[in-house]
Amino acid sequence: MQVATRPTGALVRATDAGIRDDTAADAQSPAVRDPAGRRDAGGPDAGAADRGAAEGTRAGAREARGTQARLLVIEDEPGIVDVLRRGLDSEGFVVEVAVDGPEGERRALSGEYDIVLLDLMLPGRSGQDVLRAIRRARPRLPVIVLTARGELEDRVAGLDAGAVDYVVKPFSVAELAARLRAHLRALEDASSTTLGGADIEVDLLTRAVRRDDRPISLSITEFELLVYMLRNEGQVLSREQLLRAVWGEEQDRGRNVVDVYIGYLRRKLADQGGGSPIVTVRSVGYRFGEAG
């Protein structure tokens, strides 16, 4: 799946007056701005070399995959839908839209989409219900929640329900596109269907987890956290690394979420003697592997 990377810079805001696409005109024009905010009237582009290198990488990806990523947006606010259509189309996504919960659930379960962008407050059926239905029927389809409700409890509830990421309005379309690409890359990087370490085996297709042939039931977030730590077995991972990799966030107010989920995971992975393969490295973070 090919996703282009031209930045749009669009900023979507949820306000009493609706939304605003701060740089919609710029998103449709090849002109660039200098650091002072002035348009480049056609002089040398300082980022041309970087973009050329990036284009070479994208050309190789196109040759390897040959298709664009199909994105289903489940959102009922027309202004946001319009900005997302224009902004994400310019980023290389094939964007399709459902405007209520029942339609969004039907299309997500029946269509061939690579990733879903889901609002939580929808007519007809709540986004939380739609998310749970997707997780039951298509557990490998990544869903990013898009909502104006940004409290920690709301974000944790969305992640626990099965979202791979949580984006709060107002948001930058360019950042949103980068997050979409990151989650798509994570799927492609899962070249093996199984992972293992410290007597723990994980099946990436069925999401089954076992330790010494004992099945372990994990939430979606716990599973993603375990997979990331297994892929980095033996390395010391900071809270910021884990937050960015599993939740897609690096905000200080969310760092305690990592500690909470590490605690959940430790208890579930503990052997009969209570030992866990997750080791705390004081003042740094956590390491997956034998204690030592």
Q: Which residue has the higher pLDDT, 196 or 113?
A: 113
| CA 89 vs CA 31, 141, 163, 172, 205: distances in Å | 18, 20, 23, 14, 30
Average pLDDT for residues 66-71, to the nearest whole number? 74
Cα 265 from Cα 244, distance rounded (Å)? 18
pTM: 0.48
Report residue 84 as tokens.
Answer: 């997302």
Tens digits of residue pLDDT in 77-131:
999 999 999 999 999 999 999 999 999 999 999 988 999 999 988 999 999 899 9
Least confident among 22-26, 200-204, 268-272, 277-281? 22-26
Q: Indicate the pLDDT class of residue 226, thresholds 50, 70 and 90.
A: very high
Which residue, among 213, 214, 228, 215, has the nearest Cα to 261 in the 3D structure? 228
Query: What confidence score (pLDDT) does residue 124 get?
Result: 96
Res. 72: pLDDT tops 90: yes
Q: Which residue has the higher pLDDT, 98 or 253?
A: 98
Query: What confidence score (pLDDT) does residue 8 get?
Result: 41
Tens digits of residue pLDDT in 149-183:
666 777 777 777 788 888 888 889 999 999 999 88
Cα 221 from Cα 11, distance rounded (Å)? 28
Report residue 98 as tokens.
Answer: 């459902």
The contacts of residue 128 (CB under 8 Å, 6+ apart) are: 120, 157, 158, 161
pLDDT, the chain, mean: 75
